[in-house]
Structure 1
Amino acid sequence: MARLDRTPFQIQILDLSHDGRGVARLPDGKAVFVAGALPGETVLAEPTARSRRFDEARTLEVLEAAPDRVAPRCPHFGTCGGCVLQHLAEDKQILAKQQVLLENLERIGKVAPDQVLPPLTAASWGYRRKGRFSVRRVNKKDKTLVGFREQDPRFVAELRECHTVIPEIGMKIQALAELVDGLQAREHIPQIEFIAGDDAIALTVRHLMPLGEADRAALAAFGREQGFAIFLQPKGIDSVHPLEGEAPALSFRLPQWDVELAFEPLDFIQVNGRLNASMIARTLELLDLRPEHRVLDLFCGLGNFTLPLARQVREVVGVEGDAGLVARARANAQRNGLGNAQFFAADLTQDQRGTPWMRQGFDRLLLDPPRSGADEVLKQLPLQDIGTIVYVSCHPGSLARDAGFLVHERGYSLVSAGVMDMFPHTAHVESIALFRR
């Protein structure tokens, strides 16, 4: 294989890619994606990879800056892969994401919304209440690294701080790295997950060998000193347990609907608490609910949408593939006194046509699928009686594909769509779409 020529070159940036890199064209017309560059800029770039269809590069120097360029807040920007848009003004970040959504809808789904919803935004710093740090002992540096992956995902970024993670965690990363480096098991800890409720923060330490008494004592002392509940995970998800004593209750409240949701340390919750509340409010508004309605909430998780829905309609049915989440959703409904919320565990990628919940009639449908989308379940659902569908998406490509199906094969109109900034400063696009028959 020919060695990559890393000679720097000057180039003008034409566009922004879906993953936050600048897009340029070489003299022969070949596309090149340039990390750290913005549309309208001229940069000096260094080649980093070459393929038949496109090249990749990174910005060495900005020769002519775009007016939308800002100074990144984080000292690790450009190395850490957690954020890729800190150099772009916040109001332009969300517009770039809106453009990604609209282009996906047009290119993949061959659809366009009648109305583009105003973007939903919330605090853009210190918002991330759930995440996973990679851990790696680097003997050459004689230190343990704790952080997100670098832009080259083979490496763990050496972080001192993170400004998108809640400050209680984001400003303690160096202390966490020093803690792990002092453990006897430091080479056998691959990751640490964090999650924050309204009243408690939990760290879950994955360890590939049993922890000795000295390590357990060090972890316990760190938890007490920093105010973290420490959990251990020696094997799979079911092996998670508190390091000592009884685990504190983890939960978050949604005061607008008088609902509190309890969760476990590795459960899925929306990472941005403030944006989550705004997203629920917009979703319920778009569903155009009436007290007599029955609503089907697919991929319902812990009941993040289901329980607020139950406050407004006659009955809501939540369906989720993770049986543990379903059990906790049922407990959450009971805890909140919501007897009109039913929950079922079902793999929504498989045939569900014989299941009782599928045969029940519904007035409204809410979907909040994973990145893979909802195409399998949409093909099975008896949609003829459901006049309104709201689709919450974490991946614009799968939303666009499913929107094309609903519009071109099931007779719906794409009434409106818009973006929600669940992950500011990253290229992640969260969106919402309203379909009506």
Structure 2
Amino acid sequence: MKRTRSRKKKLPEEAVRIHIESLTHDGRGVGHIDGKAIFIDEALPGEEVDFIYTDSRKDYAEGRVVALHNRAPERVDAACPHYGVCGGCSFQHVEASAQISIKQGLLEEQFKRIGKVDSPELWQPLTGPHWGYRRKARMGVKYVQKKDRVLVGFREKRHPYLAEIDSCIVMHESVGTRLTALGEMIVQLSIREKIPQIEVAIGDEACVLAFRVLEPPTTADQAIMRAFGHAHGLSICLQSKGPDTIVPLDGEPEVIPTYSLPDHGITFKFRPAMFTQVNYDINRQMINRVLETLQLNANDTVLDLFCGLGNFTLPMAKYAGRVIGIEGDQPLVNHAKANAQFNGIDNVEFYAADLSKDISGEPWAQHKFNKIMLDPSRAGAAEVLPLFKRWQPEQIVYVSCNPSTLARDAGILVNELGYTLVKAGVMDMFPQTGHVESIALFCK
């Protein structure tokens, strides 16, 4: 029997008017038509807008604004000419202080709805620069043959294609102002069609760009890349396969970027593809908040879960008696150990362990810890929380990049393990985007 391919229902082409009632966690306006939720980019609560459909499913639809009939008080004109096309930002139409208020409100709502936890006392939000703050990124690269042009930047909003942009004002200026120049350099290379992405790693002083290359560049290619790097003060590297294959151009010195915590006399070395916080100003404030909250002294034994290259572990070790850092990625653990040695910190230990699996038999897990620090990925930390019964920490500080999983885990800590959610707040790690970075304190 011949199967007929189901055709997607054609979307209405005419604009539709809608009243925006609320916001989603990623900053889209929400309205309803005949009981069906419509998620609309760049629409704000209280606004009447005309929109056109961009997608329609059984139980929801998506759209974009084509006309505004009234402006919400928090609406501003976007500063970037590429806003709305480039998918890198989603909040530029919202005034800066309103962005953080929206994120704080979202955090409180998630605690109540997902975690079934009462709203705690709120910390003053941590805020910093709204532009030029981003120091880590993975940028796409695409040679467009019809235009004989190379695009460098980020994908279009809700599309797989690279956006045609010439600058990025949330990126640190050492790279954000040079996207056109990068494209003009790459188009001269014989391998211009064999470079899918660039890993950006900007330290306090050095800027490293690791070009993913699907074919080795020729000697002439390397000469072009080298000249560009020297002219713009950038260290250009090549990445042939995984992150461990990143090497400098032939004859160029290896540049290891660093970031520092001046308040605590610590400097971190990192490699381009390693995870580090994108916003140095907020990272320093965040670490200070953790230390002020935990009030560490020589009697404290601290466990730092999901510790990465020791971003919290090393500053905590400056004040605690003993700190143990656990991270799932062995190269990051090796780097954390090297950073401890580089900074002369010897009361810290690092171990590799997959915290989404049963780690109850690990030797380090047999100890008691009176304070615990968590900084998990978006998936949260639910799998490791049952072990808190054994460890019996008095205080837990949880840094989160996903308010939904933080709220879920807060529900476990409060409703199952007997902790109190004492305080929480948001941190403006990613201004102009819908990303919500938050911190919470739990006590016995």
Distance 1:43 1:203 in 2: 42
Distance 2:322 2:127 in 1: 30
Q: Which moved more, 1:260-269 or 1:174-183?
A: 174-183
Q: Contact (CA 8 Å) 2:309, 2:332: kept in 1 or not?
A: yes
Distance 2:417 2:307 in 1: 23
- Quick one: which of 206, 219, 227 aligns to 2:233? 227
- Quick one: which of 417, 421, 428 aligns to 1:414? 421
2:65 aligned partner: 59
Distance 1:301 1:418 in 2: 22
1:40 aligned partner: 46
1:179 aligned partner: 185
1:238 aligned partner: 244
2:395 aligned partner: 388
TM-score w.r.t. the length of structure 2 is 0.96
Structure 2: which 5+ residue stretches go unaligned? 1-6
CA deviation digits over 1:112-171, x for unaligned, max 9? Answer: 233122111111110000001111122233322111111023111111111110011100
Q: Which moved more, 1:142-151 or 1:72-81?
A: 142-151
1:286 aligned partner: 293
What displacement does 1:382 show? 4.1
CA deviation digits over 1:203-225, x for unaligned, max 9? Answer: 00001112111211111111111
1:100 aligned partner: 106
Three-state SS of the structure 2 residue aligned to 1:350 is coil
> Does 2:312 correspond to 1:312?
no
Distance 1:389 1:103 in 2: 21
What displacement does 1:79 show? 0.4
Distance 1:239 1:308 in 2: 30
Distance 2:337 2:93 in 1: 43
2:137 aligned partner: 131
Q: Which moved more, 1:71-80 or 1:28-37?
A: 28-37
What are the equivalent positions in structure 2 for 1:81-96 lying under 5 Å apart?
81-96=87-102
TM-score w.r.t. the length of structure 1 is 0.98
> Does 2:282 correspond to 1:275?
yes
> Does 2:370 correspond to 1:363?
yes
> Does 2:209 correspond to 1:218?
no
1:23 aligned partner: 30
Three-state SS of the structure 1 residue aligned to 2:109 is helix
1:79 aligned partner: 85
Three-state SS of the structure 1 residue aligned to 2:398 is strand
What displacement does 1:383 show? 4.4
CA deviation digits over 1:241-272, x for unaligned, max 9? Answer: 11132212311110101101111111111000
The AA in structure 2 aligned to 1:238 is: D
Query: Moved runs in structure 1, 4+ residues, more than 4 A?
Result: none
Q: Contact (CA 8 Å) 2:369, 2:391: kept in 1 or not?
A: no
Three-state SS of the structure 2 residue aligned to 1:252 is strand
What displacement does 1:423 show? 0.1
Distance 1:60 1:219 in 2: 42
Aligned residues: CA RMSD: 1.2
Distance 2:131 2:68 in 1: 25
What displacement does 1:22 show? 1.0
CA deviation digits over 1:249-298, x for unaligned, max 9? Answer: 31111010110111111111100000000000111122232221110001
The AA in structure 2 aligned to 1:393 is: S
Structure 1: which 5+ residue stretches go unaligned? none
Distance 1:249 1:34 in 2: 43
What displacement does 1:237 show? 1.4
Q: Contact (CA 8 Å) 1:5, 1:47: kept in 2 or not?
A: yes
Distance 1:80 1:272 in 2: 20
Distance 2:129 2:65 in 1: 28
2:383 aligned partner: 376
- Quick one: which of 327, 351, 359 aligns to 2:358? 351
Distance 1:130 1:260 in 2: 17
- Quick one: which of 399, 404, 409 aligns to 1:402? 409
**Percent identity for Structure 1 against Structure 2:** 48
The AA in structure 1 aligned to 2:43 is: A
Aligned residues: 436
1:155 aligned partner: 161
1:146 aligned partner: 152
